[in-house]
Protein backbone atom coordinates (compact mmCIF):
# COMPACT_ATOMS: atom_id res chain seq x y z
CA UNK A 1 0.00 0.00 0.00
CA UNK A 2 1.22 3.57 -0.61
CA UNK A 3 2.38 5.49 2.43
CA UNK A 4 1.68 9.15 3.22
CA UNK A 5 3.10 11.33 5.98
CA UNK A 6 0.97 14.32 6.98
CA UNK A 7 1.93 16.92 9.55
CA UNK A 8 -0.70 18.86 11.45
CA UNK A 9 -3.06 15.93 10.91
CA UNK A 10 -5.20 15.76 14.04
CA UNK A 11 -7.87 18.09 12.61
CA UNK A 12 -8.61 20.51 9.80
CA UNK A 13 -7.10 19.99 6.37
CA UNK A 14 -4.53 17.46 7.58
CA UNK A 15 -7.20 15.19 9.04
CA UNK A 16 -9.50 15.60 6.02
CA UNK A 17 -6.71 14.65 3.65
CA UNK A 18 -5.74 11.70 5.83
CA UNK A 19 -9.34 10.47 5.82
CA UNK A 20 -9.54 10.70 2.03
CA UNK A 21 -6.31 8.74 1.62
CA UNK A 22 -7.35 6.14 4.21
CA UNK A 23 -10.53 5.54 2.20
CA UNK A 24 -8.29 4.82 -0.78
CA UNK A 25 -6.25 2.29 1.20
CA UNK A 26 -3.19 4.41 1.95
CA UNK A 27 -1.15 3.77 5.09
CA UNK A 28 -0.52 6.90 7.12
CA UNK A 29 2.02 8.50 9.42
CA UNK A 30 0.37 11.40 11.20
CA UNK A 31 1.84 14.22 13.26
CA UNK A 32 0.35 16.80 15.62
CA UNK A 33 1.41 18.43 18.87
CA UNK A 34 -1.53 17.37 21.06
CA UNK A 35 -1.20 13.63 21.66
CA UNK A 36 -4.77 12.79 22.84
CA UNK A 37 -6.38 14.60 19.91
CA UNK A 38 -3.99 13.01 17.43
CA UNK A 39 -4.56 9.51 18.77
CA UNK A 40 -8.34 9.97 18.69
CA UNK A 41 -8.13 11.07 15.06
CA UNK A 42 -5.83 8.18 14.18
CA UNK A 43 -8.26 5.73 15.80
CA UNK A 44 -11.04 7.04 13.57
CA UNK A 45 -8.91 6.59 10.45
CA UNK A 46 -7.92 3.04 11.40
CA UNK A 47 -11.56 2.08 10.91
CA UNK A 48 -10.90 2.19 7.17
CA UNK A 49 -8.60 -0.82 7.62
CA UNK A 50 -5.30 0.92 6.91
CA UNK A 51 -2.23 1.14 9.10
CA UNK A 52 -2.02 4.48 10.88
CA UNK A 53 0.98 5.55 12.94
CA UNK A 54 0.26 8.51 15.22
CA UNK A 55 3.49 10.26 16.24
CA UNK A 56 2.80 13.25 18.50
CA UNK A 57 5.36 16.00 18.71
CA UNK A 58 6.54 19.34 17.36
CA UNK A 59 7.92 19.41 13.82
CA UNK A 60 10.46 22.04 14.85
CA UNK A 61 12.20 19.33 16.92
CA UNK A 62 14.76 17.39 14.82
CA UNK A 63 14.27 14.30 16.99
CA UNK A 64 10.55 14.33 16.26
CA UNK A 65 11.17 14.62 12.53
CA UNK A 66 13.47 11.58 12.76
CA UNK A 67 10.72 9.69 14.60
CA UNK A 68 8.24 10.46 11.83
CA UNK A 69 10.57 9.18 9.14
CA UNK A 70 11.37 6.10 11.21
CA UNK A 71 7.64 5.37 11.48
CA UNK A 72 7.28 5.60 7.71
CA UNK A 73 10.31 3.37 7.18
CA UNK A 74 8.71 0.79 9.45
CA UNK A 75 5.66 0.53 7.23
CA UNK A 76 7.02 -0.22 3.76
CA UNK A 77 10.51 1.22 3.58
CA UNK A 78 9.51 4.00 1.21
CA UNK A 79 7.37 7.12 1.26
CA UNK A 80 4.94 8.02 -1.51
CA UNK A 81 3.71 11.35 -0.20
CA UNK A 82 4.92 13.94 2.30
CA UNK A 83 2.48 16.73 3.18
CA UNK A 84 3.85 19.69 5.12
CA UNK A 85 0.62 21.00 6.61
CA UNK A 86 1.62 21.97 10.16
CA UNK A 87 1.54 25.74 10.47
CA UNK A 88 2.03 28.66 12.82
CA UNK A 89 0.54 32.12 12.40
CA UNK A 90 3.13 34.16 14.25
CA UNK A 91 0.43 36.04 16.17
CA UNK A 92 -3.09 35.12 17.27
CA UNK A 93 -5.04 37.04 16.18
CA UNK A 94 -2.96 38.40 13.32
CA UNK A 95 -1.59 41.92 13.68
CA UNK A 96 -0.11 44.59 11.44
CA UNK A 97 3.62 44.42 10.78
CA UNK A 98 4.23 47.43 13.02
CA UNK A 99 2.92 45.36 15.93
CA UNK A 100 4.24 41.91 14.99
CA UNK A 101 6.58 40.56 17.65
CA UNK A 102 9.78 39.33 16.08
CA UNK A 103 9.76 36.17 18.18
CA UNK A 104 6.32 35.44 16.71
CA UNK A 105 7.70 35.87 13.20
CA UNK A 106 10.60 33.59 14.05
CA UNK A 107 8.16 30.96 15.33
CA UNK A 108 6.17 31.11 12.09
CA UNK A 109 9.31 30.79 10.00
CA UNK A 110 10.61 27.94 12.16
CA UNK A 111 7.40 25.90 11.79
CA UNK A 112 6.31 26.83 8.27
CA UNK A 113 9.70 26.92 6.56
CA UNK A 114 12.63 25.52 8.54
CA UNK A 115 10.81 22.47 9.91
CA UNK A 116 9.24 21.74 6.52
CA UNK A 117 12.67 21.68 4.87
CA UNK A 118 14.13 19.67 7.74
CA UNK A 119 11.48 17.01 7.31
CA UNK A 120 12.07 16.84 3.56
CA UNK A 121 15.80 16.42 4.18
CA UNK A 122 15.13 13.61 6.65
CA UNK A 123 12.64 11.90 4.36
CA UNK A 124 14.43 12.21 1.01
CA UNK A 125 15.91 8.69 1.04
CA UNK A 126 12.42 7.23 1.48
CA UNK A 127 10.90 9.58 -1.12
CA UNK A 128 13.53 8.49 -3.63
CA UNK A 129 13.04 4.77 -2.91
CA UNK A 130 10.71 2.73 -5.08
CA UNK A 131 8.40 4.83 -7.23
CA UNK A 132 9.61 8.42 -6.67
CA UNK A 133 7.35 10.14 -4.20
CA UNK A 134 5.63 13.50 -4.01
CA UNK A 135 5.95 16.46 -1.68
CA UNK A 136 3.05 18.80 -0.97
CA UNK A 137 3.80 22.13 0.68
CA UNK A 138 0.53 23.62 1.93
CA UNK A 139 0.79 27.26 0.94
CA UNK A 140 -1.58 30.23 1.14
CA UNK A 141 -2.84 33.06 -1.04
CA UNK A 142 -1.10 35.29 1.52
CA UNK A 143 2.16 34.11 -0.08
CA UNK A 144 1.33 36.03 -3.26
CA UNK A 145 -1.17 38.70 -2.14
CA UNK A 146 -0.55 41.68 0.15
CA UNK A 147 -3.28 41.43 2.78
CA UNK A 148 -3.33 43.60 5.87
CA UNK A 149 -2.18 41.70 9.01
CA UNK A 150 -1.13 38.66 6.98
CA UNK A 151 2.43 39.90 6.37
CA UNK A 152 4.39 37.62 8.70
CA UNK A 153 2.43 34.48 7.89
CA UNK A 154 2.44 35.34 4.19
CA UNK A 155 6.20 35.85 4.22
CA UNK A 156 6.69 32.39 5.70
CA UNK A 157 4.47 30.82 3.06
CA UNK A 158 6.24 32.71 0.27
CA UNK A 159 9.52 31.30 1.55
CA UNK A 160 7.97 27.83 1.62
CA UNK A 161 6.85 28.27 -2.00
CA UNK A 162 10.40 29.16 -3.01
CA UNK A 163 11.84 26.12 -1.25
CA UNK A 164 9.30 23.92 -3.05
CA UNK A 165 10.18 25.44 -6.42
CA UNK A 166 13.91 24.89 -5.93
CA UNK A 167 13.39 21.38 -4.56
CA UNK A 168 11.52 20.53 -7.75
CA UNK A 169 14.54 21.62 -9.80
CA UNK A 170 17.02 19.78 -7.61
CA UNK A 171 14.94 16.58 -7.35
CA UNK A 172 13.41 16.23 -10.84
CA UNK A 173 12.32 12.64 -10.24
CA UNK A 174 9.99 13.77 -7.46
CA UNK A 175 6.77 15.70 -7.80
CA UNK A 176 6.83 18.84 -5.65
CA UNK A 177 3.60 20.81 -5.42
CA UNK A 178 2.94 23.99 -3.46
CA UNK A 179 -0.82 24.04 -2.98
CA UNK A 180 -2.94 27.01 -1.94
CA UNK A 181 -6.02 25.51 -0.26
CA UNK A 182 -7.80 28.87 0.01
CA UNK A 183 -9.63 30.12 3.08
CA UNK A 184 -11.23 27.28 5.00
CA UNK A 185 -13.41 26.84 8.07
CA UNK A 186 -10.60 25.78 10.41
CA UNK A 187 -9.35 26.55 13.91
CA UNK A 188 -6.28 28.18 12.37
CA UNK A 189 -8.35 30.69 10.42
CA UNK A 190 -10.53 31.37 13.44
CA UNK A 191 -7.42 32.09 15.50
CA UNK A 192 -6.05 34.35 12.77
CA UNK A 193 -9.18 36.45 12.28
CA UNK A 194 -11.60 35.67 15.11
CA UNK A 195 -14.09 38.40 14.13
CA UNK A 196 -14.50 37.12 10.56
CA UNK A 197 -17.52 34.83 10.51
CA UNK A 198 -18.07 34.74 6.76
CA UNK A 199 -18.95 31.46 5.03
CA UNK A 200 -16.02 29.29 4.04
CA UNK A 201 -15.65 25.74 2.74
CA UNK A 202 -14.87 22.94 5.15
CA UNK A 203 -11.49 21.25 4.67
CA UNK A 204 -13.03 18.12 3.16
CA UNK A 205 -14.47 20.28 0.37
CA UNK A 206 -10.93 21.30 -0.58
CA UNK A 207 -9.42 17.81 -0.54
CA UNK A 208 -10.57 16.81 -4.08
CA UNK A 209 -8.04 19.26 -5.49
CA UNK A 210 -5.22 17.52 -3.63
CA UNK A 211 -6.46 14.12 -4.79
CA UNK A 212 -6.41 15.29 -8.39
CA UNK A 213 -2.70 15.98 -8.06
CA UNK A 214 -2.12 12.43 -6.82
CA UNK A 215 -4.27 10.93 -9.54
CA UNK A 216 -2.73 12.82 -12.46
CA UNK A 217 0.74 13.74 -11.16
CA UNK A 218 1.10 16.97 -13.14
CA UNK A 219 4.39 18.80 -13.34
CA UNK A 220 5.85 20.19 -10.17
CA UNK A 221 4.63 23.72 -9.48
CA UNK A 222 2.18 25.89 -7.56
CA UNK A 223 -1.52 25.07 -7.71
CA UNK A 224 -4.79 26.33 -6.23
CA UNK A 225 -6.84 23.52 -4.72
CA UNK A 226 -10.16 25.13 -5.66
CA UNK A 227 -9.21 25.32 -9.34
CA UNK A 228 -8.00 21.72 -9.31
CA UNK A 229 -11.22 20.53 -7.67
CA UNK A 230 -13.36 22.45 -10.17
CA UNK A 231 -11.50 20.86 -13.06
CA UNK A 232 -11.93 17.42 -11.48
CA UNK A 233 -15.68 17.90 -11.26
CA UNK A 234 -15.91 19.22 -14.78
CA UNK A 235 -13.97 16.45 -16.52
Q: Quick check: 152 and 97 in contact, CB under 8 A?
A: yes
Catalytic residue of the set 15, 153, 189, 223 = 153
Does residue 171 sit in helix, strand or coil?
coil
Helix (H) or strand (E) holding 224: strand 221-224
CB 128 within 8 A of CB 167: no
Residue 189 a catalytic site member: no
Q: Which of 99, 88, 221 is nearest to 167 (CA)?
A: 221
| CB-CB contact of 160 with 137 (8 Å) | yes
Torsion of CA 215, 220, 223, 226, to 10 degrees: 0
Q: What is the dihedral of CA 8, 11, 13, 15, to 10 degrees?
A: 90
Active site residues: 153
Amino acid sequence: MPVAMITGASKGLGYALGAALARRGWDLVLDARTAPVLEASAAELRRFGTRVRAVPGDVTDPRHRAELVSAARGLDGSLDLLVSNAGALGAEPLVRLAELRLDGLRAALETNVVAALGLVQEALPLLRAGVPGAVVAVSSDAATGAYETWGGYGASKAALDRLAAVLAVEEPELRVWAVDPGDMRTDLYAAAVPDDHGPRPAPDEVVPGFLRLLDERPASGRYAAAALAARAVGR
